[in-house]
Amino acid sequence: MPIQSTVDVFSGYTLSDAFDEMFDGKAQPRRPYRKLHKELLKLTPEELLRSKQQADLTFFNQGITFTVYGRNEAIERIFPHDLLPRIVSAADWDVIERGLTQRITALNLFLKDIYHERKILDDRVIPGSVVYTCRHFRRQMSGVKVPRDVYVNVMGTDLVRLPDGRFVVLEDNLRVPSGVSYMLSSRKVMKQIFPTLFRKCGVRPIEQYSQALLSTLRALAPDGRPDPTVALLTPGVYNSAYYEHSFLARQMGIELVEGRDLVVHDNVVYMRTTRGLKRVHVIYRRVDDDFLDPLAFRVDSALGVPGLFSAYRAGNVTLANALGTGVADDKAIYAYVPSIIRYYLGEDPILDNVDTLLMTNDTHRAHVLDRLHEFVVKAVGESGGYGMLIGPHSSEEQRRTMRDCIVADPRNYIAQPVLALSTAPCLIEGNIEPRHVDLRPYVLYGEKVTIAPGGLTRVALRKGSLVVNSSQGGGSKDTWVLQT
């Protein structure tokens, strides 16, 4: 090994207690990373920076941006992207794939059950009070039959890797998970920048995701529709994920519609086209439950379609994901997912949960309130890193506020130990340094479960930070799942 080179790009690389994706405990590169490591040693910081600039330019030119709104002016920024791929071995991926398939299967059975017979509540596996108090529980969905009994058609599960190397589930995103366009775009850019390395490593393809998503959506058409019309419903150009909506609609060749493009007549949904009203059978909706139909949910929603829910109940249109899936990604329900898996499938969970303390439990609450600085506290119905307290990084003031919140509304909070997320090599100003990462694979479920081998690896680009959300200084990197 040429020693000068290691001094160059890896000189700032210090290992911590966290699992490092690239190096093992003896600072030797792990097997899946060996080829990448060897290639990196051949490169100078200047060459790396040049590649980085080339990648950023490609992102910008392709319009892969998200919009930041300021005073009167909307600024387009590229999504912060790290040049170095995150590599997942075939063996690790096998566990992830089986684990996620098991999880989405069980969660769907759970959703079907709680909106119909509620056996799991009768059998006292989960207290009814936890389910009924979920902010995203939709009583309107009781007794509604959804196509193929599949509620969650698109799932984006956040996985993290613990110091012992195990992948565990940090969060289930069962409503309208986003980010898949970054997965697809960053792969495209990486292939342009590292073609040789890419070939040498043997990376499993993810480009077929759009086809798989379209087949999933088509498989959900109301009965007897061989050639359904599918549309993607977006809140509109001012939504921060609008780029993704437009990207996916283009990739699938379906119409990108807003609420005002749709009309419901005699319980049938149509879109307004220049050639007249065209019936829509399946809607991949990227609008939250609350805003879908002002007649059924929030009356002040201007994004929705009056009468949509009634057409949905009548079975004339499919919404993907189904309404009311948010009950299953409530963070208090999350604590019960291992029991849910055992209850419906009679199997042990393949992917474990993170230990979670419910604040409704008096002993747990007292324990956590005494040691707030040691825990991560999360509001149960939130996502995107909002409503969260990271104990060790919090101020006395923040802890006091959180304590009051927990005491006032214990059902709304859970606590988890602070996790040492695994670290992966990232290019930071010409040097390679470790940063904490998670992994969000995308799971599709229509006729069958399909998982694109890869996902969005999110990076906390600030040194030492554990928060990977893009709204809070996070970035992303391409995820390479190896063939063998």
Based on CB atoms, which residue is closest to another protein, 13 or 242? 242
Per CB under 8 A, the list member of 126, 257, 333, 424 interacting with another protein is: 257
Using alpha carbons, list the distances in angstroms from residue 230 to 20, 158, 214, 255, 275.
Answer: 43, 28, 8, 7, 17
- Token pair listed for 188: 């495209």
Q: Does 272 bind another protein (CB under 8 A)?
A: yes
Residue 361 to residue 340: CA distance in whole angstroms: 19
Using alpha carbons, list the distances in angstroms from residue 87 to 84, 303, 315, 436, 442.
Answer: 9, 40, 43, 14, 16
State in angstroms the smallest separation of the CB of 273 from another protein.
6
State in angstroms the smallest separation of the CB of 65 from another protein.
11
Based on CB atoms, which residue is closest to another protein, 199 or 260? 260
Task: Tell which residue, 461, 426, 480, 435, has the closest CA to residue 9.
Answer: 426
- Token pair listed for 408: 């006032």
β-bridge mates for residue 352, sequence order = 168
β-bridge mates for residue 268, sequence order = 265
Q: Does 287 bind another protein (CB under 8 A)?
A: no
State in angstroms the smallest separation of the CB of 310 from another protein.
15
Tokens 């229509």 identify what position? Answer: 446
Per CB under 8 A, the list member of 6, 89, 133, 246 interacting with another protein is: 246
State in angstroms the smallest separation of the CB of 213 from another protein.
17
Q: Does 131 bind another protein (CB under 8 A)?
A: no
Per-residue burial over 323-342, b = 16 or more CB atoms within 10 Å of its CB, e = otherwise: bbbbbbbbbbbbbbbbebbe
Per CB under 8 A, the list member of 148, 279, 313, 373 interacting with another protein is: 279
> Contacts with another protein in 60-99 (CB under 8 A)?
63
Based on CB atoms, which residue is closest to another protein, 246 or 339? 246
Residue 411 to residue 415: CA distance in whole angstroms: 11
Per CB under 8 A, the list member of 9, 114, 269, 271 interacting with another protein is: 271
Q: Does 437 bind another protein (CB under 8 A)?
A: no
State in angstroms the smallest separation of the CB of 237 from another protein.
6
Cβ neighbours of 292 (radius 10 Å): 24
Per CB under 8 A, the list member of 274, 363, 395, 484 interacting with another protein is: 274
Based on CB atoms, which residue is closest to another protein, 257 or 406? 257
State in angstroms the smallest separation of the CB of 246 from another protein.
5
Q: Does 255 bind another protein (CB under 8 A)?
A: yes
Select from 26-34, 41-49, 244-252, 447-455 the region that touches another protein (CB under 8 A).
Answer: 244-252
Provide the binding-site residues for another protein, judged by CB under 8 A: 63, 237, 246, 249-250, 255-258, 260-261, 263, 265, 270-279
